[in-house]
Amino acid sequence: MTLDARIAALVDKAVADEGLSRDEMELLYAQDEHSPEAFYLRWGAHQIARQASGGRALIYAQLGIDAKPCPGDCAYCSFALSSSSVLPGQDEMPRELIFAYCSAYAANGVHLISLMSTDSYDFESFCEIVSAVRKLVGERVLLMANIGDFDLAGAHALKAAGADAAYHALRLGEGRITAISEQRRRQTIEAILQSGLKLMSGVEPIYTGQDAHELLDRMEEVASWPQICSGLCQLRRVAGTPMEKTPLLSTLRYQQLGALFRLIAGRRIAYGSLNTAWCSAGTNPRDTRMFPGAESMAREVAGEVAAECAARRAELESDGWQVR
């Protein structure tokens, strides 16, 4: 089977860091995910990722610290006010458990720890936790806040507490599938950048049936932001949420779109889905887990974290990445 020379030339152009026009992006977007052109697109994304990071990969850790009903009301989230999926029980992780996980992640060499909470979590309490974790893990590990919207004063408060970065996304369908306005999201992202915090963002959530123009607009915008890591995030369906029956992309189509985002971003963003691996604990918007009892903490956390970090490291190294 012959590879379409036009598509090959566009991928080669992106690999050479010469950029892509909007028409060229649309042409790459239109390729069938089973075609040789789509596989060549994915090859090109791998080349760019290796060039951007010098062949290095990172291990990140995310720790969800609460499960409170959230006024952001994202239609795909198990913690949304409109969701019926959240299980009754303890809705905050005990601080002793937070500190145990963060200590274990730091001891196992993760590069970044993301502390994630719902919009309902008290901001001052979150800053207190950031400050305590910073003292616990030292300066080597980056600390990232993944929380609700905040202004410039809030960004400075996070930085003063010891945060290095913040995750924030302008989601596809913001204001339609969420109760949050695009303006509010943009203001928070601007506050992050103005404060000196590092930004991590992404194009999310991705699923079947989205408007191609909106998706490509968002890819271009997100790829233009100065970030430490970025990529695409596929929708995870959660029973009890309004989007529980939303059609999902095939694995190949999702990988093709992720590769297209890498070609659009070029070498501006060193790390993404190809060269980062995530460990996770605590709660997550795509599940309904609650917290284990604090009494099990000392016995279980260290071994759990060590095993997960080792598995993520092995995955990256088996793909030829040098894990920092």
pLDDT tens column, 186-197: 999 999 999 999
User: Is residue 3 a part of any domain in this protein?
Assistant: no
CA-angle at 215, arms to 312 and 204, nearest 5°: 35
pLDDT band at 294 (very low <50, low <70, confident <90, very high): very low
Domain span holding position 146 = 56-255+268-323
- Strand 142-146 and strand 165-167: pairing? parallel
Residue 300 domain-assigned (yes or no): yes
Residue 1 lies in a domain: no
pLDDT band (50, 70, 90) for residue 285: confident
Mean pLDDT (whole number) for 200-227? 97
CA distances from 273 to 16, 23, 230 (A): 20, 25, 7
12 in a domain, yes or no?
no
Considering the domain boundaries, does residue 7 fall inside one? no
Contact (CB, 8 A) for 95 and 129: yes
Question: What are the Cα distances from residue 302, in Å, to 88, 95, 305, 308?
Answer: 27, 16, 5, 10
51 domain-assigned: no
pTM of the shown model: 0.94
Residue 287 resides in a domain: yes
Which three-class secondary structure state does DSSP give residue 316?
helix
φ/ψ of 104, rounded to 5, equals -70, -40
pLDDT at 292: 52
For residue 104, with 0-12 CB atoms within 10 Å meaning exposed, 13-18 middle and 19 or more buried, which class applies? Answer: buried
Per-residue confidence (pLDDT) for residue 33, from 0 to 100: 97
Is 194 within a domain? yes
pLDDT in tens, 108-167: 999 999 999 999 999 999 999 999 999 999 999 999 999 999 999 999 999 999 999 999
- The predicted-structure confidence for 70-82, as pLDDT tens digits, reads as follows 999 999 998 898 8
- The alpha carbon of residue 62 and the mean position of all alpha carbons in its chain are separated, in whole angstroms, by 9
* CATH number, residue 111: 3.20.20.70
pLDDT given for residue 283 in this prediction: 86
Please tell me the predicted confidence (pLDDT) of residue 85. 65
Domain count, the chain: 1
pLDDT digits (tens, 9 = 90+) for 168-181: 999 999 999 999 99
